[in-house]
Structure 1
Amino acid sequence: MQVQAEGLHDEIIRLKKKTDTIILAHNYQVPAVQDVADLVGDSLGLARKAGTTSNSRILFCGVHFMAETASIISPEKRVLIPDPAAGCSLSDSITLDDLRRWKKQHPGAVSVGYVNTTAEIKAELDYCCTSSNAAAIVESIPKDREVLFLPDMFLGSYVAKATGRKNMFIWPGECHVHAGITPEDVQKRLDSMQDAEFVVHPECSCTTPMLHDIASGAYKDTKAKILSTEGMMKHVAKSDTKNFVVGTETGILYRMRKENPDKTFLPASDKAECQFMKMITPEKVRDSLLYDKFEVSVPPETARKARRAIERMLEVG
């Protein structure tokens, strides 16, 4: 089995070089997919790389909206995804009609949408954002303008709290994985590990009741920080702490352990797995490279409109 896995790994490396393909993988991908990627990161970092790569093809190991974003940023590239059925429960929580009705109810409002949205939603937005720059983008909007934030209500609540924004309206969407991590899960895990630091993604439902404590730098006498996935990676690398409880999808633990072998990482919840992210397998990556499937493209007019919101996201950083 080990020999077979090594053979598949080597075949993927050979194929990506032969086909001039860069493989981008999200932090939540399975270990074997992360190991063949040219870059593993969060949505913002991967989007930036998609916009600057010199490769003629991009193979996106993530969920469908991420591949769409890459296609919008680099329309001259051929963008592939190993499994087109890899969707996102958060992205599915708002439709184009929903957004248009909401905007009519708030004329003059500035719409800010999380990158976890479809291309047609992005085309209706003023700004796109990721968890790492959402607060900075909202801060950049004039204080007297209403803000419509979508689709994640937990990230939206965090941003409203972090910015002190009073005229911000939040769409009631959620990521089923992050919403399933409870304060009870976190406390149980923290109780099992001495001197642990708690890092948590702002999409987590547990951030709402914990928000005040975490924002002040502590949670029930535990050091705690709300961070994007890439923010987590940077923080755990430089922290003097040796033990961490991690409140996000469990896929990131592989990279954390790989890059920080002297530290211990436990998931806030063992159940925090995204079945969509896990749909991408090394076999599907190999087949995508070998048979040139499956291409992700966005209609030109939709892409043109969406590019404006995405470019604003990349400018803010």
Structure 2
Amino acid sequence: MMTKYHVPVMLRECIEALDIKKDGIYVDVTFGGGGHSKEILKHLGENGRLVAFDQDVDAQVNVPDDDRLTFVDQNFRFLKNYCRLYGALPVDGILADLGVSSHQFDQPERGFSTRFDADLDMRMDQSGTLTAKEIINSYQEDDLHRIFGMYGEIQNAKSLARVIVTARLNGAINTIAELKAAIGRLIPKGKENKYLAQVFQALRIEVNQELVALQEFLLQATEVLKPGGRLVVMSYHSLEDRLVKNFIAKGKFKGEVEKDFFGNEIKPLEPVSRKAVTASDEEIAENNRARSAKLRIAVKV
């Protein structure tokens, strides 16, 4: 079940980065197929604990029957509240494997993949109300321009927004095929897949408020970790990686590091290595998803 669901990227590197203590408390905030969680459990003794988060109901079928595991069916932006609720504070390590699981991409009806035709959905939490369809059909041109430019890093974001707003005057754009047809003339020849991936990434980030949730999670992670505890975050695109890198380096997302009266830097985390860890050539050959993965590791000061 699990390998088909989602092959965990850089599994060995993630587990080594957590530096697991047998009786420690750990959090996997992106449970998914459970690959990372099951590996963490193997390294824990009988008094160890693992709290796992996932907002996608599909992930729940992968939860192992293990008394040491507490499963939370919520977004990781509620990290601190649920760790407190389950008496799991402070923690020794937190793992986040960001982005969409291969299982979600492979389910046509979820609307994450450009490979299939389906309703424009893209909700990771299927009880959420905002869908990609609603964004495409109801957002103002300026807002579409903003999300395609910021979240998709699309060169012709302004033209794209205008074309969508014009196309929907003739009727709602409800499906992936209808969206592709509406924007077809803007898609650069020979770069169709890359361009559509950027459009879908922008919509997905907006639907799921991914960057907002990531910032909320990172701020809480420093409060939840013990001194010496590890934060291990794997991201798959530059927007996420930039936020994680800045936060580890400065303790905030923009601007310079704050300093105390004596000129010492005030920041909660220390990077374990300067550069991000990337997957081996062997792993990339076996799992294409590992190609863009960047793993960053920090210790709470």
TM-score (norm 2): 0.33
- Which structure has more relative contact order (CA 8 Å, sep 6+)? It is 1
